[in-house]
Structure 1
Amino acid sequence: MAEDIKIALEALNKIDASIATMQESVKKGEAAQADVQKKIDELGEKQVLFSRQLLDIQQKAQKADGSEVADKSIGAQFVNSESYKRFKGVTGVRSASAVVANKAAENPVTSAQAHLTPYRVPGIVPLETRELSIEALFPKLPTSAQSIEYLREKTFTNGAATVAEAAKKPSSAFEFELMQTPVQVIAHWTKITRQLADDAPALQAFINARMIYGVNLAAEDQLLSGNGTSPNLSGIMATGNYTAQAFKLAQLGGSGATMLDLLRISFATVNAAGYRTSAVVLNPMDWAVLQGLKASDGSYLLGSPANSFSASTIWGVRVVESAAMAQGKFLAGDFARAATVYDRMQTVVDIAAQNEDDFIKNLYTIRAERRLALAVEHSTAVIGGALSVPTA
């Protein structure tokens, strides 16, 4: 019995020494805290097992000869153990996990010492991305030319009429003008390190996506409001490319008129010119104002807020929300007949390491580029301007 007790005590002391050694390795930064803690927990289970075996041996010895085995009860063994001497002052029988907790309390290991690695979320959280909706309003054609030239009908005097037998037929008069619009370049670039390019494929994909988005975002703004001064496109809202609304209050129905009446008459103007209004472009804030218009009884003019506006229309015309449209402005019309987008080169992304001193600095230069033109064939097919009711 005495030999069994000795073996159990030696095993317990070895476990205590192993735990102390592992804690010291964590403090010195030689081992990861998570790995050490796992091993300590395993040793703690063995420590509890040996303690129970020791108690069982003592109880059997007492039953055998009625003695207390030289006062070697579990309590006496604990207070005389090496563990208790190292942590003197703490009373009560404790498990292995309690001993480890007190060791950590005396010499706490900080997260900096343990070199804990944070969880890295895959990819990159991007900034806001604006929905691009203007370019889709126009038909698109490819081209290999540097400029687009087209003959546009300027005036038409229709002389067609009924004619008596053997009488002279009437003539009609046409006037044409030669129009030309250049293909313009929209591009931008940025630099990344070679290490990022090699070690972070997600970053490469992110940059490529943002580079393409940046070009198409600039193209959207140009197609709508480019002023035509090179190298800008002549956008659909440039002077001469659309019909500017100049309605009087009486045309809209008098003093009770709202912006809905302004749009109603604008649509009718386009339709009367021989086209068919297909869409109206509004700034999201202006669209929200129109949605909030109420009748005298408090009901919303455009319908209950419970209704979905996913397929929004005004007077049967589709509403296209775009932050590219300036607040307080609108544009409506037959966009499919008003203008055509010509693509000389769709957006491409190139990467090189030979730009400037990139090779020396281990950098890559990424460039995104697109070439396109906008040919406005029918300025009378679209109408727009100030989204406000005239005062007179």
Structure 2
Amino acid sequence: MTKLIVSAGAIPAAFLAACSIGGLRVALAPPDSGAAAASGTQGGAGDGEMKVLAQGLKAATDEVKRFAEKAEGEMKSLGKLTDETKAAADKAITEMNGKIGEFDARLAEVEQKAARRGGSHATEVKSLGQHFIDSEKAKSMLADGSSHKGSARVSIETKNITSATSTVGTGVSAGNSLVPADRQPIVGLPNRTLRVRDLITPGQTSSSNIEYPAETGFTNAAAPVAEGNLKPKSDITFDLRSAPVRTIAHYFKASRQILDDAVGLASYIDGRARYGLQFVEEAQILYGNGSGANLNGIMPQASAYAAPSGVTVTGETPIDRLRLAILQATLALYPASGIVLNDTDWARIELTKDTQGRYIIGSPQGQIAATLWGLPVATTLAMAVNDFLVGAFQLGAQLFDRMAIEVLVSSENEDDFIRNLLTIRAEERLALAVYRPAAFVKGNLVTPTP
């Protein structure tokens, strides 16, 4: 569907509502942008024809605008459009739609030709001799006749005739106009699945420190009371705690040339910069020790696993232990909402079979989301093998973003400016508040052998 861009306010809303526009979509844009949009087509062959089509389209659009102005006047004076004006306007719009269709067809043809040629931005490869023949000085000398006397000096950029392949210390990829490089897509390293943040309640802050009262004790003395008797007194104790905002950051160095020459490299670096922050962020959420610039993670604050009394398990398995940890959180009055495991441990659980060789949890042909005992399982390599974390994530903790991930590119320092280098810096600021440490239970899936 073609989108016709016209000047803002050129076609009144009343006119658009009254006329049968059909499939035409009208986008309002700043004045004079319509002409640019109509003429901004593929370069190269077909430019002349495209300009003619663009002029025809502009004329049709002007005709619609004329009727729009007339319609606006009638709406103000009569409160409606006359049948004559409406019919003429419908005809003008129909003709404009036809021009748009003709313009679309020709544009598609030009794009297809450009694609077969390898794109409108393909670089022409010339030999050293061709560079000489195409130069104006050589053409002038050869045009003098059969004598071919005189000389012609032709300057050619060194990079156009070099065949060096070394990229060490240059910041420029191998390849040149004589031996063009076969550019392949960027082969990146795999990204680790990041899911722990998704379990925690999100938040925003404009401060550098989060302060919150944490409940440290509760004595429940509630009881039935006879009429006229004193009511029992319960006690709740709190402790004021803080979660300072921490910064996670790193940077890259890259030459301006390589970012200019390697298509997609800038966006790729941006993606890797963001991923690097998220990778460390997840480890900090789980294991940050709270010292220095580290977050105070959940694992150091979580309650240690202790098998609840009243339940006896024979031949305990990791699946059994996770169920008991869920019970421990429930008995602490914090019903668990999720489980965090290392990918290796989850694979071992999924491969568990019964005495007949049937999978208990996993299904080789299934695509069911990872769940256990009715709770979602977040698998992450940030969790150490054999460790587990069960808890009421949304109730027990909150992650505050002071500054979302920011990626900046600069050449402001003197060294970068002189060397034509760019510094790419990525950073984020966040705070983790663990409101209720008792809402989390940590432990080992299998008790280590002494």
Which TM-score bucket, shorter chain as reference?
0.5 to 0.7
Residue type of the alignment partner of 1:156 = F
* 2:430 counterpart letter in structure 1: L
> SS at the partner of 1:300?
coil
Counterpart position of 1:131 = 193
For residue 366 of structure 2, the aligned residue among 307, 310, 321 is: 307
Q: Does 1:202 align with 2:264?
A: yes
Structure 2 match to 1:288: 347
Code of the aligned partner of 2:350: Q
Report what 1:217 is aligned to.
Answer: 279
Aligned: 1:232 with 2:294: yes
Residue 329 of structure 2 aligns with an amino acid whose one-letter code is: V
Which residues of structure 1 form unaligned runs of 5+?
Answer: 1-27, 33-111
Choose the corresponding residue for 1:374, options 432, 435, 448. Answer: 432
User: What secondary structure, in the 3-state scheme, does the structure 1 residue paired with 2:382 have?
Assistant: coil
Alpha-carbon distance change, 152 to 362 in structure 1, aligned in 2, over 3 angstroms = same
Deviation, structure 1 residue 249: 11
Asked if the contact 1:189/1:365 (under 8 Å) is kept, the reply is yes
SS, match of residue 154 in structure 1: strand
TM-score by length of 2: 0.58
Query: Relative contact order (C-alpha < 8 Å, sep 6+): which is higher?
Result: 1
Verify the 8 A CA contact 1:252 1:262 in the aligned structure 2: no
Aligned with residue 330 of structure 2, among 268, 271, 276: 271
Give 1:116 deviation, angstroms: 4.4
Q: Is 1:119 paired with 2:179?
A: no
Q: Which of 129, 146, 154 is the matching residue for 2:208? A: 146
Aligned partner of 1:167 in structure 2 is 229
Classify the secondary structure of the residue corresponding to 2:236: strand
SS of aligned partner of 1:260: helix
C-alpha deviations, 1:299-348, integer Å up to 9, x for none? Answer: 2222543333x412212121111111111111111110111001111110
Q: Which runs of 5+ in 2 are unaligned?
A: 1-126, 132-174
Letter of the structure 2 residue corresponding to residue 287 of structure 1: W
Q: Distance in 1 between matches of 2:417 and 2:441?
A: 53
Using the aligned pairs only, state the percent identity.
42
Q: Counterparts of 2:353 and 2:253 in 1: how far apart (Å)? A: 52
Number of residue pairs the alignment of both structures matches: 280
| Conserved? CA contact 2:308–2:328, under 8 Å | no
- CA deviation vs aligned residue, 1:231-259 (integer Å, no higher than 9, x gap): 11011112xx21111338995513x2211
Q: Name the CA distance, whole Å, in 1 between partners of 2:375 and 2:365.
A: 20
Code of the residue aligned with 2:445 in structure 1: it is L
Corresponding position of 1:8:
none
- State the secondary structure of the residue aligned to 1:237: helix
Counterpart of 1:257 in structure 2: which amino acid? E
Q: How far apart are the structure 2 equivalents of 1:217 and 1:225? A: 13
- 2:422 is aligned to 364
- State TM-score, norm by structure 1: 0.67
Specify the code of the residue in structure 2 equivalent to 1:351. V
Separation in structure 1 between the aligned mates of residue 223 and residue 309 of structure 2, nearest angstrom: 38
Whichever residue aligns with residue 292 of structure 1, its letter is L
Cα distance in 2 for partners of 1:331, 1:249 equals: 20
Structure 1: distance between partners of 2:356 and 2:262: 60
Q: Does the CA-based 8 Å contact 1:353-1:365 persist in structure 2?
A: yes
Asked if structure 1 preserves the Cα contact closer than 8 Å seen for 2:351 and 2:362, the reply is no
Name the amino acid aligned to 1:383.
Answer: V
> Which of 155, 162, 186 is equivalent to 2:248?
186
**Which whole-Å CA distance do the structure 2 matches of 1:213 and 1:306 have between them?**
31
Distance 2:310 2:180 in 1: 71
Instruction: Give the CA RMSD over aligned residues.
Output: 2.5
Which of 313, 318, 321 is 1:253 aligned to? 313
Which amino acid in 2 is paired with 1:207?
I
Q: Distance in 2 between matches of 1:372 and 1:327?
A: 27
Deviations, residues 149-191 of structure 1 (Å, cap 9, x unaligned): 1011110111221111111111111111010111111000111
Letter aligned with residue 372 of structure 2: I
Q: Secondary structure at the match of 1:218?
A: helix
